[in-house]
Structure 1
């Protein structure tokens, strides 16, 4: 079971903070550092110093880390044109030496689109499908050839399909909870399918839908890695657990029910339930980015117990 660190910088974190957490992620042996792609805070936090751009952040981290995987959960398809996004991601992958993964979603937070003047179309899932086809098509086009695409929402003619990622196949992550369309999109384009804040039981059901959709696409279901994103709050005892929960404005009982919270032994047991449901990777949503001791505890007492 891989453990990756996931951050929500729009809630309040500058680049230097993210760099510190990314370096700790690498030093402590976690598999990867991922971040959200949002421009507006959520909830009552002040969000200072303001949002950071996901792909600019990852470009910086690509040059200042050496081992960990880097990526987004999820880049909003509404934020960037597919041709431009393909160039950005390929360049960051080159800058990292081939450690980047692209999580791409339809976009859902209408308020941030209004705040920053970004169009918020109704047909976002259909646009997402075209974006996935274009991006994967551009990267798969042989060097020296051009790429054309004439869809409902996007039109590319004579694109040189450059630059290429450093990786022969840059992993694509798709997420979402829809029972039919989302599994079909994942089956067609994804190397990894991610579920956010799902229980082990509900995860097993949705993972099964993705596997069925993959079979219908003529694809080996085992080619798609299934993963979960969950808020994490671990304490060596109840006092430390309560303190960490209070620091992120959450209740211990609620975190135990809906996230990965408790003592290290409790968290290891719950991760085992997700593994039984078919998950092979957990993204740990770390909400207090100043508490590096938290990461150290997870690395030494949780990660060390996982096979």
Structure 2
């Protein structure tokens, strides 16, 4: 199972703090460093203010060498798809081919208001078109042009440059980075994942809902003529692990969470409890877990998980 570190910098973090966590992620053997893509804090003052997701990842691309880098997830409302395709392809080049793109509809209306970003009531069509445009631009052969005439976007004779370093996981003859799609809808989002994504992500799922949601996306793959096993299944869950109950309680309270509540909803508790919970997820078919780290200054927790949890899950 891949273990990835997932951060929420809008809650308050500088680039240097993120770099410290990313380097620890690499040094401790985790698979990847991911971050949210938000511009407004939630429930805190967020000082010193937000950092842009793709600007951050561009910096980290040059200051790390092994870990994969990406967003969970970028909002389709934030960037035009042509611009997004250029940004992601460039960061992929800067990283030597280590980038992944999580893309969703966006949900936080207040941050759009705060920064003057349009927030249409209906956004699913925007997401669908962005996936088509971004992957289409990457996959267009060099020397050819790409065009798109849709409800939300029109591209005319685009040179479709630059290209990512990586080959598309869905068609190795074309350029592309792994795309991550996630959501709780029973049909439309799974259908998008089956068509465009290398990975389907469950964000903070209730454990008794996992089987049903994964069944939906497996069915969508079959309906699209895609083998379900070609789609990586992942989950994002809060991390709160300690050597004893006192340490777990301290870490939970440090991020404003109730210790018992966090145990029931995340990868939380003792090392043994964390290993058991990850094993439970593996039994559902999940092979990748994003560990949401809310206290970016607590590198000791990363050392504990990297040193004692990760070796037990293979």
Q: Into which bin does the TM-score normalised by the smaller protein fall?
A: over 0.9
C-alpha separation between the residues in 2 aligned to 1:206 and 1:94? 34
- Give how far 1:204 is off: 1.6
- Aligned equivalent of 1:5: 5
- CA deviations 1:230-284 (Å, max 9, x no partner) are 0000010011111111111111100011111100000100111111111110000
Distance 1:264 1:148 in 2: 52
Q: How does 1:228-307 map to 2 (within 5 A)?
A: 228-307=235-314
Q: What displacement does 1:136 show?
A: 0.5
1:77 aligns with 2:76: yes
**1:279 and 1:234 mapped to 2: Cα distance?**
20
Counterpart-to-counterpart distance in 2, 1:168 and 1:274? 29
1:209 match: 216
Aligned to 1:197: 204
Q: Deviations over 1:1-26 (max 9, x none)?
A: 10000000000001000000000000
- Report if the CA contact (8 A) 1:83-1:134 is conserved: yes
Aligned residue pairs: how many? 306
Unpaired stretches in structure 1, ≥5 consecutive residues: none
Tell me, in whole angstroms, the C-alpha distance in 2 between the residues paired with 1:280 and 1:121: 34
Which sits farther off after the overlay, 19-28 or 253-262?
A: 253-262
Deviations along 1:214-242, one digit per CA (max 9) or x if unpaired, are 11011111111000000000010011111
Shift of 1:46: 1.7
Would you say the 8 A contact 1:201–1:277 is kept in 2?
Answer: no
Which residue matches 1:149? Answer: 148
- Could you list the per-position Cα deviations for residues 45-83 of structure 1 after superposition, in whole angstroms to 9, with x for gaps in the alignment? 220100000000000000000000000000000000000
Give the structure 1 partner of residue 118 of structure 2: 119
Contact 1:19 1:61 in 2 (8 A): yes
* CA distance in 2 between partners of 1:58 and 1:30 (Å): 17
CA distance in 1, matches of 2:251, 2:119: 36
TM-score, scaled to structure 2: 0.97
Supply the distance in 2 between the matched residues of 1:165 and 1:102 (Cα, whole angstroms): 12
In 2, the alpha carbon distance for the partners of 1:116 and 1:283 equals 28
Superposition RMSD in Å? 0.7
Which stretches of structure 1, 4 residues or longer, exceed 2 Å deviation after superposition? Answer: none
Question: What is the Cα deviation at residue 202 of structure 1?
Answer: 1.1
| TM-score relative to the length of structure 1 | 0.99
Shift of 1:200: 3.3
Query: Cα offset for 1:137?
Result: 0.5
Deviations 1:179-233 (A, max 9, x none): 1111111111110000111133311211111010011011111111000000000
CA contact (8 A) 1:233 1:245 kept: yes
| Whole-angstrom distance in 2 between the partners of 1:251 and 1:157 | 53
CA contact (8 A) 1:200 1:277 kept: no
